[in-house]
Amino acid sequence: MKFSRQGNSTVVFPVMPVVRSSACVVGPKEGKGPLREGFDLIHENTLAGRTSWEKAESLMLRQSLDIALAKAGLDETQIDFLLAGDLLNQIISANFMAREFDVPFIGLYGACSTMAEGLIIASMMVAGGFATNAALAVSSHHDTAERQYRYPTEFAYMRTPTSQWTVTAACSTVIGLAGNGPWIEAATAGRVQDNGVTDANDMGSAMAPAFADTVWRHLQDMSRKPEDYDLILSGDLGKIGSRLARQLLRQKGVDIEDRHRDAGLLIYEDSPEIGAGGSGCACSAAVFSAMVVPSMRRGELKRVLLVATGALHSPTTCQQGESIPSIAHAVSLVWKNEEVKS
């Protein structure tokens, strides 16, 4: 059996899994943002016609998966594994969505890095011959996250300039062996990093070291330079985290300045309410679905490194004075001109 690893920690797929389809269902704020054209369904209200925000988030997950399956021309019987995750305690949005599908289910938690975490696992399943098609669904919701991590939504307080706005969206993607592309060529799973940041309203600072570490290791393992990628997309570092991540990489002699973009800064127009940028599982996922995949299919981007970052804290650990451990997972996507036949 061929051992498909390169360097210390990068997985290189001998058979490249294909992104067969992706779909994104968003809330009203995201639906007014710069990427609105790329979304499949925009809800006018964060309740999405449900009686609670948690129910709305779960519904949005289901809708995004339904759309992704339809786009791939598949039904649920053709999906071998369903992977899903979100930000809530006991990943309830994902679990409650999964009860609507008759598919073997694996729940994931990687905080805001779940999209990349799921892509890595789904790709391994497909490339390893354990699945023909694996579906991945991730979500986050501003109002459900706010009440779990911070204050009631109607509570009157001033957000700090470092705080980020949780993206209300659910995104699904189907990974398989044949289809449209783009293709997943390699992936680097992150190591948990902790640089002692304790401010839960400054997740960009907490996550930047994890991003820098994963990107650096990925480039080392693949013997590549940032110039080999048309885009290095971080998940939700925001303004401050992006600045720090670039600095940390520059200290290691890697300059990503001209090709680094942050999903948290692409999804909304700049405003004081948004603060340092968007965040949440669905932040990187929404930009992946609405921007990265279409751009690759149009041939505008040939190789993209998606690096979703996650802050692995909870309100309990923050109250107990613990610093915020963070993670970043990297997935390298390529666009090949020749169509691969199954």
Partner 1 sequence: MPRANTREKEAYRKLSIKASPPRPILRNAVVAFLVGGAICLVGQIILSWISSTGIGRVQALSRTQTIMVFLGAFFTGLGLYDRLGAFAGMGAAIPITGFANSIVSPAMEFKREGFILGVSARMFQVAGPVIVYSFVASLAVSSAVLILAR
The binding site for partner 1 (CB under 8 A) comprises 51-52, 147, 151-162, 191-197, 202, 205, 209, 213, 239-240, 243-244, 247, 273
Measured from the CB atom, is 90 or 340 closer to partner 1?
Answer: 90
Q: In the bound complex, what is the minimum distance in angstroms from residue 313's beta carbon to partner 1?
A: 14
The answer to whether residues 282 and 171 touch, using CB atoms and an 8 Å cutoff, is yes
Measured from the CB atom, is 43 or 239 closer to partner 1?
Answer: 239
Measured from the CB atom, is 140 or 205 closer to partner 1?
Answer: 205
Measured from the CB atom, is 73 or 152 closer to partner 1?
Answer: 152
Q: In the bound complex, what is the minimum distance in angstroms from residue 323's beta carbon to partner 1?
A: 8
How many Cβ atoms are within 10 Å of 195's Cβ, its own excluded? 16
Q: In the bound complex, what is the minimum distance in angstroms from residue 44's beta carbon to partner 1?
A: 16
Q: In the bound complex, what is the minimum distance in angstroms from residue 262's beta carbon to partner 1?
A: 13
The answer to whether residues 27 and 49 touch, using CB atoms and an 8 Å cutoff, is no
Q: In the bound complex, what is the minimum distance in angstroms from residue 201's beta carbon to partner 1?
A: 11
Q: In the bound complex, what is the minimum distance in angstroms from residue 57's beta carbon to partner 1?
A: 13
Angle between the 53-72 and 142-149 helix axes, to the nearest 10 degrees? 140
Q: Is 251 exposed, middle or buried (0-12, 13-18, 19+ CB in 10 A)?
A: exposed
How many Cβ atoms are within 10 Å of 138's Cβ, its own excluded? 38
Q: Please state, in angstroms and rounded to a whole number, the distance separating the CA atoms of residues 338 and 7.
A: 28
Give the position of tokens 């938690």: 109
Residues in the chain: 342
Q: Please state, in angstroms and rounded to a whole number, the distance separating the CA atoms of residues 127 and 241.
A: 33
Measured from the CB atom, is 30 or 202 closer to partner 1?
Answer: 202
Q: Which of 71, 95, 75, 68 is nearest to 83 (CA)?
A: 95
Angle between the 238-251 and 203-222 helix axes, to the nearest 10 degrees? 40
Cβ within 8 Å of residue 298, ≥6 positions away: none
Q: In the bound complex, what is the minimum distance in angstroms from residue 196's beta carbon to partner 1?
A: 3
Measured from the CB atom, is 227 or 322 closer to partner 1?
Answer: 322
Measured from the CB atom, is 185 or 202 closer to partner 1?
Answer: 202
Q: Please state, in angstroms and rounded to a whole number, the distance separating the CA atoms of residues 126 and 80.
A: 9
Q: Please state, in angstroms and rounded to a whole number, the distance separating the CA atoms of residues 121 and 103.
A: 16
Measured from the CB atom, is 40 or 57 closer to partner 1?
Answer: 57
Measured from the CB atom, is 91 or 203 closer to partner 1?
Answer: 203
Cis upstream peptide for 182 (omega within 30°): yes
Alpha-carbon dihedral of residues 32, 240, 145, 327, nearest 10 degrees?
Answer: 120
Q: Please state, in angstroms and rounded to a whole number, the distance separating the CA atoms of residues 21 and 103.
A: 18
Q: In the bound complex, what is the minimum distance in angstroms from residue 225's beta carbon to partner 1?
A: 24
Q: In the bound complex, what is the minimum distance in angstroms from residue 128's beta carbon to partner 1?
A: 27
